[in-house]
Structure 1
Amino acid sequence: MSKRDYYEVLGVARTATDEELKKAYRRCAMKHHPDRNPGDKEAEAAFKECKEAYEVLSDGGKRRMYDAHGHAAFEHGMGGGNRGPAGFGDVGDIFGDIFGNIFGGGAARGPRRGADIGYVMELDLEEAVAGIEKRIEIPTLTACEHCKGSGSEDGKLETCATCHGHGQVRLQRGIFSMQQPCPHCGGRGKTIKNPCAECHGNGRIEQDKVLSVKIPAGVDNGDRIRLSGEGEAGPPGTPPGDLYVEVRVREHDIFERDGDDLHCEVPIRISQAALGDSVRVPTLDGEAEIRIPAETQTGKVFRLRDKGVKSVRSRSPGDLYCKVVVETPVNLTTQQRELLEQFEATFVGDGARRHSPKSSTFMDGVKGFWDRMTS
């Protein structure tokens, strides 16, 4: 499937200014953001598409390349660097490797940082709404305490014999001169003379790390919290990665969350529905009362303002929607059965129709259906 034109993705003209590009990107990203469209794969793809378009068009150099060559400018496959969320290497990687290195240029590449870690944290609805601090245990690579993450037993380093301290090696591929991190020293330019006895020169060891994570009030399914520097320790001399904690909210016995709103079902007796009554219903901060009018039908929804959830992105709480469900009585006593039989006996003749408007409408529809079928 061919890619759409980046200007078309953002809905701007090819002469759009930087400010117009920024506004268009914000509008596109806000519309398709995964937090606003949980589980929607099409929205997720559209979000990535507009992000990719903006990453190119907001950069003067990349935009000139795109205007001159279109998508082909980024499809040479010569990048060699990390690929970002948009799914392509950095333009500097591609053209620096191809053209810059021919003339002896090219950006130097040092050793990379530690890997990011993902962790799924399950919460009860009450915990997600109120916020909570939880301790978690993560198996990861941490900096070796014995050598303080240096990988060296005595702290002594020596110049790498392969790259002579540059951290880069040059490879000749046909007419192209390619540059990449030195495989011997990992791009550091230095090697360890006496490796640490604990980590054997890696500077890292595998162990469980215990952290205390603060979950803000109002988080929902799919929300992610970034803890900078709490990911895997990097190779000696490099920073650690980040930890991303993804929230999963367990199913609740009573409430179902929909954004900032909560929904629940409230069972009531047939007598309460017919005669009217006051019913106490649970909320996340206690109880509330709803007034059931006489002749209430099952499925009627009552709204309690500000009894929902105040999410991390909203200024005020949502509402609680209570749907009443008329419950058929069970385990009747002899007296209750007799009373119901007497009550049912009053629904005779045409006069019964006015007591059951929905049933009457249904029966009229059935009669009309059979009349059409037999005519």
Structure 2
Amino acid sequence: MAENKRDYYEVLGVPKDADDAALKKAYRALAKKYHPDTNQGNADAEAKFKEASEAYAVLSDPEKRRQYDQFGHAAFENGAGGAGGFGGFDFSGADMGDIFGDIFGDLFGGGRSRGRAGNEPMRGANLRTSIRITFEEALFGCEREIELTTKDECKDCHGTGAKPGTKPETCPKCNGKGQVVYTQQSMFGMVRNVQTCPECGGTGKIIKEKCPTCRGTGNTSSKKRIAVSIPAGIDNGQSVRIRGKGELGVNGGERGDLLVEVVVSNHPIFKRQDTSIYSTVPISFAQAALGGEIKIKTVDGEVLYNVSPGTQTDTKIRLKGKGVPYLRNKNVRGDHYVTLVVKVPEKLTKEQKEALQKFQETMGEAGEANPAEEKHKKKGFFK
């Protein structure tokens, strides 16, 4: 009965103004989820698959969708929509071939042709490697060499893979197309799937006599030293791209690229954040109180800085232009931020203690004896 059926838009989970692409996408997801071949013995999944198929068959047909929008499920009662199918209508008006080709291709390892044939030129894959550099090398750039095993076109067969004096033959299974077509019977009719040819691997060619040098692969491997130019300002984890140093292309396609990931070693003094450098510099109590000139280490060497009298611990200063060069313009640099920390001496000589006690007295502070020292003083018999 029509009153027991769910709304077709609700079944597919789409709004009433959904276009054809949205309908197909929604149905494709439901069909893959509830298809009987992936839910064998699950009656509930089979029912949902049929429900979704019925909804899509109606809404994907402009005329049936118009009737449904006007009359609802009643438009297809008593055979109004045609005999057969689900709920008294057929699927003759629905474009099921394309969507089922996608669905069955995903479920069974096939797939429809999406454009170019498998024997057309294809760009080679990118290669990846890594290189470790120092903190300073990352800041100012450097030149390095890496050793890498790469593949090159076989000089004897010129990349064909066939023995010199022979040549590859057209694959008899796919007739040189690199793809084969399979048809599959489904509940909606014959489904057509296009797959890579298993005989030639998509090349469209069969090699009967393989080249003894490359053993039919069309390429040979060798170790090479490749120069890598590390730009100033590069950060840890970033990569340098060297074009044309990746894997060989297929069927005459261009080579891929080599991506060199940069690993930057930690520095014992400096820390980096983007284009800024951070460090901590200890100063004595006297330098903090009286002020004076101190030396600060930077990536450019030591610089002199005048500490103001009365400087407190954790005072932060900024050295402009002493940071990291910008990656896109090495002539522009960030800043170096320094935290001044007042260092308290752990051990004092007798003279230093007396000097500090006099300073304490001049500051009007009570000079109380250290309880630990009082405890260890020797006392006389009468005391």
Q: TM-score range with shorter-chain normalisation?
A: 0.5 to 0.7
Task: For 1:342 and 1:350, locate their aligned partners in 2 and report how far apart those are by CA, in whole Å.
Answer: 11
The corresponding residue for 1:44 is none
The corresponding residue for 2:332 is 316
- Secondary structure in 1 matching 2:325: coil
- Secondary structure in 2 matching 1:108: coil
Contact residue 181 and residue 195 of structure 2 kept, 8 A: yes
Matching residue within 139, 142, 164 for 1:129 = 139
The corresponding residue for 1:83 is none
Task: For 1:282 and 1:107, locate their aligned partners in 2 and report how far apart those are by CA, in whole Å.
Answer: 61
* Cα gap change, 1:190 to 1:318, in 2 (>3 Å): same
Matching residue within 213, 224, 239 for 1:224 = 239
Read off the aligned partner of 1:317 and give its amino acid letter.
R
Contact residue 223 and residue 246 of structure 1 kept, 8 A: yes
The corresponding residue for 2:117 is 109
Matching residue within 250, 260, 264 for 2:279 = 264
* Cα gap change, 1:251 to 1:72, in 2 (>3 Å): farther
Matching residue within 286, 299, 323 for 2:301 = 286
Task: For 1:254 and 1:270, locate their aligned partners in 2 and report how far apart those are by CA, in whole Å.
Answer: 22
Contact residue 129 and residue 261 of structure 2 kept, 8 A: yes
Matching residue within 138, 145, 165 for 2:148 = 138
The corresponding residue for 1:336 is 352
* Cα gap change, 1:312 to 1:277, in 2 (>3 Å): same
Read off the aligned partner of 1:324 and give its amino acid letter.
L
Task: For 2:20 and 2:282, locate their aligned partners in 1 and report how far apart those are by CA, in whole Å.
Answer: 65
* Cα gap change, 1:218 to 1:71, in 2 (>3 Å): farther
Contact residue 28 and residue 99 of structure 2 kept, 8 A: no
TM-score by length of 2: 0.61
- Secondary structure in 2 matching 1:247: strand
- Secondary structure in 2 matching 1:321: strand
* Cα gap change, 1:186 to 1:252, in 2 (>3 Å): same
* Identical counterparts, % of pairs: 37
Task: For 2:202 and 2:225, locate their aligned partners in 1 and report how far apart those are by CA, in whole Å.
Answer: 31
Task: For 2:140 and 2:263, locate their aligned partners in 1 and report how far apart those are by CA, in whole Å.
Answer: 15
Query: 1:67, CA displacement in angstroms?
Result: 4.6
Contact residue 160 and residue 168 of structure 2 kept, 8 A: no
Read off the aligned partner of 1:208 and give its amino acid letter.
K
Task: For 2:235 and 2:29, locate their aligned partners in 1 and report how far apart those are by CA, in whole Å.
Answer: 37
Task: For 1:288 and 1:215, locate their aligned partners in 2 and report how far apart those are by CA, in whole Å.
Answer: 27
Contact residue 100 and residue 191 of structure 2 kept, 8 A: no
Contact residue 171 and residue 178 of structure 1 kept, 8 A: yes
- Secondary structure in 1 matching 2:341: strand
Q: Are residue 164 (structure 1) and residue 172 (structure 2) matched?
A: no
Q: How does 1:352-367 map to 2 (within 5 A)?
A: none
Query: 1:311, CA displacement in angstroms?
Result: 2.0
* Cα gap change, 1:119 to 1:288, in 2 (>3 Å): same
Per-residue CA shift, 1:56-106, capped at 9, x if unaligned?
xxxxxxx976555566667877xxxxxxxxxxxxxxxx869549x9xx975
Task: For 1:349 and 1:105, locate their aligned partners in 2 and report how far apart those are by CA, in whole Å.
Answer: 90
- Secondary structure in 2 matching 1:110: coil
- Secondary structure in 2 matching 1:316: strand
CA RMSD of aligned residues (A): 3.5
Query: 1:294, CA displacement in angstroms?
Result: 0.8
Per-residue CA shift, 1:288-334, capped at 9, x if unaligned?
33221111111100011121112214683211101111112355444
TM-score by length of 1: 0.62
* Cα gap change, 1:318 to 1:65, in 2 (>3 Å): farther
308-317 or 321-330, which deviates more: 308-317
The corresponding residue for 1:301 is 316
Query: 1:243, CA displacement in angstroms?
Result: 1.7
Q: How many residues align?
A: 272
Query: 1:117, CA displacement in angstroms?
Result: 1.9
Contact residue 98 and residue 177 of structure 1 kept, 8 A: no
Task: For 2:116 and 2:146, locate their aligned partners in 1 and report how far apart those are by CA, in whole Å.
Answer: 38
The corresponding residue for 1:196 is 211
324-333 or 178-187, which deviates more: 324-333
Contact residue 203 and residue 236 of structure 1 kept, 8 A: no
The corresponding residue for 1:359 is none
Task: For 2:355 and 2:150, locate their aligned partners in 1 and report how far apart those are by CA, in whole Å.
Answer: 69
* Cα gap change, 1:347 to 1:105, in 2 (>3 Å): closer
Contact residue 66 and residue 73 of structure 1 kept, 8 A: no
Read off the aligned partner of 2:133 and give its amino acid letter.
L
- Secondary structure in 1 matching 2:288: helix
Query: 1:113, CA displacement in angstroms?
Result: 4.3
199-208 or 329-338, which deviates more: 329-338
Query: 1:268, CA displacement in angstroms?
Result: 0.9
Query: 1:146, CA displacement in angstroms?
Result: 4.0
Query: 1:211, CA displacement in angstroms?
Result: 1.0
Task: For 2:26 and 2:333, locate their aligned partners in 1 and report how far apart those are by CA, in whole Å.
Answer: 45
- Secondary structure in 2 matching 1:271: helix
105-114 or 145-154, which deviates more: 105-114
Instruction: In structure 1, list runs of 5 or more residues that go unmatched.
Output: 1-62, 78-93, 353-375
Q: Which has the larger radius of gyration?
A: 2
Contact residue 203 and residue 235 of structure 1 kept, 8 A: no
Instruction: In structure 2, list runs of 5 or more residues that go unmatched.
Output: 1-17, 33-97, 106-111, 369-383
Query: 1:246, CA displacement in angstroms?
Result: 1.6
- Secondary structure in 1 matching 2:177: coil
